[in-house]
Structures are given as structure tokens and as C-alpha cells.
Amino acid sequence: MLRFAFPASSPFRRKTMNDPKKRIVSIGEVMIEMTRGPDGRFGLACGGDTFNTAVYLARNGVEVAYATALGDDQYSNGIVSLATAEGIGTDLILSVPGRVPGLYLIETNAAGERTFNYWRDSAPARELFELPDWSRVAESIMTARVVYFSGITLSIYSNNGLGRFLAVLEMARQKGVKVAFDGNYRPRAWKGDIARTRTVFMEALKRVDIALPTFDDEALLWGDASPQATVERLQTIGIGEIAVKNGPNPALVAAGGHQDYIAVPDVVMPVDTTAAGDSFNAGYMSARLSGQNPADAAIYGHQLAAEVIQHRGAIMPRKAAAVH
């Protein structure tokens, strides 16, 4: 089984679990997930890129809270209950009466690659930074240890919401908060407006300390020819720590003046690649916060992702996540 947990005596576990103001705040959207099984029937769960990462962070002893907005329906309540059961802080999940969360449907092919269809245009998460209580989320961001978000997070907000969010990130960094970002570019979420997407991403990247992109996404949005090109572009912006994921190929890690290609320890045949990158990010950040160097952190990320993609859906069963 995957060797990934931090022991109860770990300095990292001790620090994060006893210091609630120094936690990771993961920001974005969690939706109802419908996944087709081998028999053609659909199973009901929930997921969302930054929520998936929050789950796997929490399972590895990291103090993490999730910031989003949901409705007051049974599905929203179920998501909050799941987050609570996983040990994720729910104090930053705002509730909007009369609304329901978004929904997505996953189809996977024989190779485990997936396609998504979304129903999310009226999801309350889109208005997180425009709701009456948004300042509570902002205040918590500014006392976090790390703030984590993605390109999907950026895609759901209006220009007004984006302006508020980016301003909060700017102030948080001035207070010493580290900002981690996964580009996670989904063209449909941006309605094909590449110019706007690049503008929003550039504004976000100016406020990022740790970049965790996937090469395929970077090639699609920016035309990068290689992971090395991705690293060079992000370094030009001023980002000091970068880990470029590249599917079953080695990840390229650049930090502290060094670059290393970190191979996947054991390449496995995926059942479902959903949340592969999200779980890699959780493994990487967990290891880095525990004091591991970037190369070793990437190995942790690979190992966790390899376990996750052997199960259907974004969040593998807890019994499957047993660690030693």
C-alpha cells in the first residue's frame, strides 16, 4: 500500500493540527459528481479539483479548510457532511438559501481517460466573493499558512469577484501567506475566450509562490513546446517553485536554482484518471510543508496519484487509502 502518512509525532502534524490559524485554505467549487460504472449505471458522489486536493491533504494530516458557496438543499448538506467527515474545515463554506450546487458527469474510456459535462452556471460558488459574508473568507485567507486555488477557480468568478479575490491574495502575500496555484485550464469554462483567460491567469500568476501546472494544459493555453518551456515562462514571471506534471512522464521540478526530472516510481494502468493532478498536488504540498525537498515531494505526489487513478471517481474510498 501507499506509504504516505505523516506519523502522529511528526513536527508537521503537530504544528498544523494545533494552529488553526495556520492552515491551508483551498478555494473553488465542489459539485455533485455522476460517474458511469462498468455496468453502465451512474454512481452519485461529489468532487471538484480544489476540493479533491483538500480531501487528500486532510487525509495526510494537514489542517485544511475549504472556501466555497453552496445552497441549503440536501446535496449541499451532504457535501458539508462529507467535508466534516474528512476533517476539512467548513467554516468558510457559505450557504445561499434556495440554491443548489453544480453537477458534472464523467465518462471514461478503456484507457481510463475521462471527459466531463457540466451543469453549473447557476451554482452559488460562482458568487463567493460577491456574497454578503465574503469578507469572512477574505479574513481567513489573510491568516492562512498557504492559499491554494486553480484555473478552474478563476473561471467561475465574475470580473468583480476576480478583482476582490486577487486583491485579497495580494494582501495575504504581504502578510507572509504562501500562494499555490494549479493552472488546470479548461477551455469550455472560459467560453473559448483565450485572450481573457491569459489576462486573468497572468494577474493570478503575479501573486503565486508555488506553481503546480500540468504540461498539457500549459501547451494548450500558452503554446509551450515542453515542460522546460513552461518552467522558463513561469520563472520569468517570478515564481520561485514550480512542479510541472506530465501524466505518466517525469514531472519537472524547478526550485532553489535546481531543476530535476522526477520519474513516476511505478507506472500503473489507470481505471479513471480523474483527480490525478489534484492528488499529486496534495502529496506535493503535504511533503513540502513537512520539510521535504521539492524532488522528494514530487515522488510523494506521484505515489498518491498512482493510488487514486486505480479507483473510479475523484475521491477514492477511505479504506482504499490505507497507509502504513
Residue 76 maps to which CATH number? 3.40.1190.20
**Which residues fall within 8 angstroms of residue 149, CB to CB, at 6 or more apart?**
26, 27, 28, 50, 180, 181, 182, 204
Residue 155 cell numbers, joined: 473561471
Judge whether 17 lies within some domain.
Answer: no
Judge whether 5 lies within some domain.
Answer: no
When divided into structural domains, the chain yields a total of 1
Judge whether 3 lies within some domain.
Answer: no
Judge whether 56 lies within some domain.
Answer: yes
| pLDDT tens per residue across all 324 residues of the chain | 233 333 333 333 333 344 545 899 999 999 998 888 778 888 888 999 999 999 999 999 999 999 999 999 999 999 999 999 999 999 999 999 999 999 988 777 777 677 778 898 899 999 999 999 999 999 999 999 999 999 999 999 999 999 999 999 999 999 999 999 999 999 999 999 999 999 999 999 999 999 999 999 999 999 999 999 999 999 999 999 999 999 999 999 999 999 999 999 988 888 878 889 999 999 999 999 999 999 999 999 999 999 999 988 788 888 654 443
Strands annotated E in 85-157: 93-95, 103-108, 114-119, 146-150
- Comparing CA positions, the residue from 181, 172, 139 lying closest to residue 28 is 181
Task: Give the model's pLDDT for residue 112.
Answer: 63
Of 121, 216, 278, 296, which is the active-site residue? Answer: 278
Judge whether 175 lies within some domain.
Answer: yes
Judge whether 16 lies within some domain.
Answer: no
**Does 278 qualify as catalytic in the annotation?**
yes
Residue 25 cell numbers, joined: 485554505
Domain that holds residue 92: 22-318
Judge whether 98 lies within some domain.
Answer: yes
**Which residues fall within 8 angstroms of residue 100, CB to CB, at 6 or more apart?**
71, 73, 75, 76, 123
| Distance linking the first and last C-alpha atoms of the chain | 7
